[in-house]
Chains A and B, each alone.
Chain A
Amino acid sequence: MGLKKFFIKKKANLSALPVVGPLSIWILLFVLMPLAVIFIISFLGRDITGSIIPSFSLDNYRLLFSEGSEYAKAILRSILFAFATNVACLIIGYPMAYWIVKHGGRFKPLLLLLVIVPSWSCYIVRIYALKQLVGYPGILNNFFLKIHLLASPVEILYTAPAVVLGLIYIWLPFMVLPVYASLEGINPALLEASVDLGATPAARFLTVTLPLSKGGIFGGTILTFIPAFGDWLVPLLMGGNKVWMAGNFIAHYFIVIGDLPLGSSMTVFLTAAIVLMIYLCIKLGGEEAIERIL
């Protein structure tokens, strides 16, 4: 790089400083610095009262993946639950978004509002509403028992499927919106061209619509898979605290045991796993994935 070019680039960077400066300070103070603190603590030890002592070691990381480690199992369980949530959100959310784009007409804003409205209310309130709906005694069970469609109540609450159901319920809108944005952005001329070239509706969907909505799918994946992976409140409320995900382990070590260094090492690993997943989504979904999230 020539010296002149370097200085021109520097100048450009400096002119952007007033815009990105406050944001950078914010990220530095409230994202990077707390992460750095957690990272440092993860290498320290603790005394009998739980206070952190400055003794550097890798013991906490060794403990994470020692033989038969329950944390490693919880990480796998979290990946499984997050994957199931992601797939279910896609299966439910894609047709929803497709239908709104295709048939929403002048009601599109209203339909989108209906998708978004539940996420305006408090997370816990929504989970409790779901518990009232699927629990026993609960609205659905009581109704189906009354009309004799069920002989005995379906007791789904406080099980692993209940946790996945809770995650789907919470994160579904975050799949619908990016997919909707990508479908809405498809140029209708491309679809018409494919028809003119003799594509059947199925072929048109598979060869034109689906590839062009890839960014929305991966954007939705970032918005559903990642939070579902790190969730701990849904397993607590829907799983009756019996089915632990990685987040519950971290909460347990931070709050109950008071082992901040071990809890921090779990957090560092979980954060690293999430960053890797975001990277993969962006790599596979391209820049459009980020655009759809924004």
Chain B
Amino acid sequence: MFIRKPGKTFTGKRVCYALITVLSVLFLASTLFATGAPEKEEDMYDKYAASVPQGCEPVPRECFEQAVAGKTFAMYDWAAWWPEELYEGFSKEFGIEIVRDNYPDLDTALAKFRLNPDTPYDYFLANPKSLWYLREQGNLHEVNHDWIPNANKYMQEEIKSASWDPGYKHCVLTTLGFDAYVINSNFIDKNDPRIPSWKFVFEGGKAYQGKLVMRNEMNRVIGNALKYLGYSLNSTNEKELAEAKKVLLRLQPYIMAFDSWPKRAVLAQEVWVVEGVVHDYLYLGGLIPEGNPFIAAYPPEGCLLSPMLITIPKGGGNPAATHCFINYLYRPENFAKLINATAYGHGHTAVDDLLTEDVKKWMVPPKGYLKKCEVLTPASFTGIGEKMRADIWKELKK
């Protein structure tokens, strides 16, 4: 403790003041020199437009200026899936701070929008179910196609007329997942004649001795049981759903768990058969040091197609930034980063040459397979279709 003695000056205090003054001057000087004069938006746009790689288009000036003026870009998507360099690159290029929020699954995300339709996100990576819900509620901005020249240029024409977004108004496709199954070839005979049919999953319980994990999503599980039976996975036919229920109840003793992302169990090779988006497990299997034991099975009966779609909720304050991000993502080299990191299917016309051999091998289903697949439609997740599925699901959870 300092005790000020009479007749003596307290030099410590003076030194403190001097130090604070010097530090403040240094800080101010460094800030001034570091930032210099603020850059004009005009210059910023020109600089951005000039930096766009050859073959790609910049967003229009109006879009750019609105996005930059917004300063932040609020994203709501999956955690630890897309490569971080995509977000970092965007932030650096546009000078926009990304504020990310992640959902554990899309049903939870949808519940959030149900409770607060004005949830302030500029970007929401949706599936057809959440897209339908937000669109019906009038909670989505329409996409301004003039602001996404790269998506216009590189997206396959068939994708633009996809059933999940009539008129191609409210979303932009990123990846396509095939919700089929994978087998662990260390434990399962890959020459089993039932593979790759759904017969192996729904009839081969003894072959995998209860080491089956199914997604914890009723529409997908029941949908794939309907596919096995040769019906549409969006069926609302009572008889067909009763058959699906019978099949699932027969399968129940062989189901180890319902888990939408059994990463730990897959890496520990506790699981021998996984029903889910095959690309996730092929990619995950690549992390096993002894070599990737997982083989994708694309059932000839077809399966559920899971497109991931960029949507622009109305609650956000910077929709222009979403357009900038879409345009940035659709540059071939950026889109290739996404596909090389996820091994998902896509609808981009110019990335195939930029993909690694492994990813090409994993990502590609048999030729013409897409035609056998279906996406979820409102028939299966609303009204009587939803009620019948919920009843089956409850019976499976005893």
Q: A48-B382, A136-B270 are in contact. Are A242 and B257 (CB under 8 A)?
A: yes
The residue of chain A having its C-beta at the shortest distance from the C-beta of B137 within the complex is A49
Q: Which residues of A contact B395 (CB under 8 A)?
A: 70
Q: Is A240 an interface residue (CB 8 A)?
A: yes
The residue of chain A having its C-beta at the shortest distance from the C-beta of B258 within the complex is A241
Q: Mark A23-53, 1 if CB is under 8 A from B, else 0.
A: 0000000000000000000000000111100
Q: What's the interface size class on A, roughly? A: 20 to 34
Please state if A158 and B397 are interface contacts (CB–CB under 8 Å): no
Please state if A242 and B108 are interface contacts (CB–CB under 8 Å): no
CA distance A41 to B134 in the complex (A): 21
The stretch that binds B, out of A12-20, A191-199, A251-259, A286-294, is A251-259
Please state if B111 and A241 are interface contacts (CB–CB under 8 Å): no
Q: A48-B382, A51-B114, A254-B111 are in contact. Are A73 and B398 (CB under 8 A)?
A: yes
Q: A48-B383, A49-B133, A51-B114 are in contact. Are A137 and B259 (CB under 8 A)?
A: no
Q: Quote the shortest CB–CB distance from A165 to chain B (angstroms).
A: 16
Please state if B218 and A244 are interface contacts (CB–CB under 8 Å): no
Q: Is A248 an interface residue (CB 8 A)?
A: yes
Query: DSSP class of B's interface residues: helix, strand, loop or mixed?
Result: helix
The residue of chain A having its C-beta at the shortest distance from the C-beta of B262 within the complex is A240
Q: A49-B137, A258-B111 are in contact. Are A158 and B398 (CB under 8 A)?
A: no
CA distance A48 to B395 in the complex (A): 23
Contact of B398 among A244, A254, A257 (CB under 8 A): A244
Number of interface residues, chain B, beta carbon within 8 A: 33
Please state if B108 and A49 are interface contacts (CB–CB under 8 Å): no
Please state if B216 and A241 are interface contacts (CB–CB under 8 Å): yes
Q: Is A260 an interface residue (CB 8 A)?
A: yes
CA distance A260 to B394 in the complex (A): 17
Please state if B397 and A255 are interface contacts (CB–CB under 8 Å): no
Q: Quote the shortest CB–CB distance from A27 to chain B (angstroms).
A: 23
CA distance A128 to B262 in the complex (A): 12
Please state if A256 and B218 are interface contacts (CB–CB under 8 Å): yes
CA distance A259 to B386 in the complex (A): 11
CA distance A135 to B259 in the complex (A): 16
Please state if A240 and B257 are interface contacts (CB–CB under 8 Å): yes
CA distance A256 to B111 in the complex (A): 8
Q: A158-B257, A242-B255, A244-B398 are in contact. Are A137 and B114 (CB under 8 A)?
A: no
Which residues of B (54-98) have their CB < 8 Å from a CB of A? Answer: none
Please state if B137 and A51 are interface contacts (CB–CB under 8 Å): yes
Please state if B218 and A242 are interface contacts (CB–CB under 8 Å): no
The residue of chain A having its C-beta at the shortest distance from the C-beta of B134 within the complex is A49
Q: Is A89 an interface residue (CB 8 A)?
A: no
Q: Which residues of B contact A48 (CB under 8 A)?
A: 382-383
Which residues of B (167-220) have their CB < 8 Å from a CB of A? Answer: 213, 216-218
CA distance A249 to B259 in the complex (A): 16
Q: Quote the shortest CB–CB distance from B222 to chain A (angstroms).
A: 12
Please state if B383 and A240 are interface contacts (CB–CB under 8 Å): no
Contact of A137 among B108, B270, B383, B397 (CB under 8 A): B270
Please state if B133 and A50 are interface contacts (CB–CB under 8 Å): yes
CA distance A137 to B216 in the complex (A): 22
CA distance A73 to B114 in the complex (A): 28
B residues apposed to A, CB below 8 Å = 107-108, 110-111, 114-115, 133, 136-137, 213, 216-218, 252, 255-259, 264, 268-270, 382-383, 386, 390, 393-398
Top 3 A-B pairs ranked by shortest CB distance? A240-B257, A70-B394, A244-B397
Contacts beyond the supplied A252-B393, A258-B107, A258-B133: 13 A-B pairs with Cβ under 8 Å: A49-B133, A51-B114, A70-B394, A137-B270, A240-B258, A248-B397, A252-B390, A255-B108, A255-B111, A256-B217, A257-B386, A257-B390, A260-B115
A residues apposed to B, CB below 8 Å = 48-51, 70-71, 73, 128, 135-137, 158, 240-244, 248-249, 252, 254-258, 260
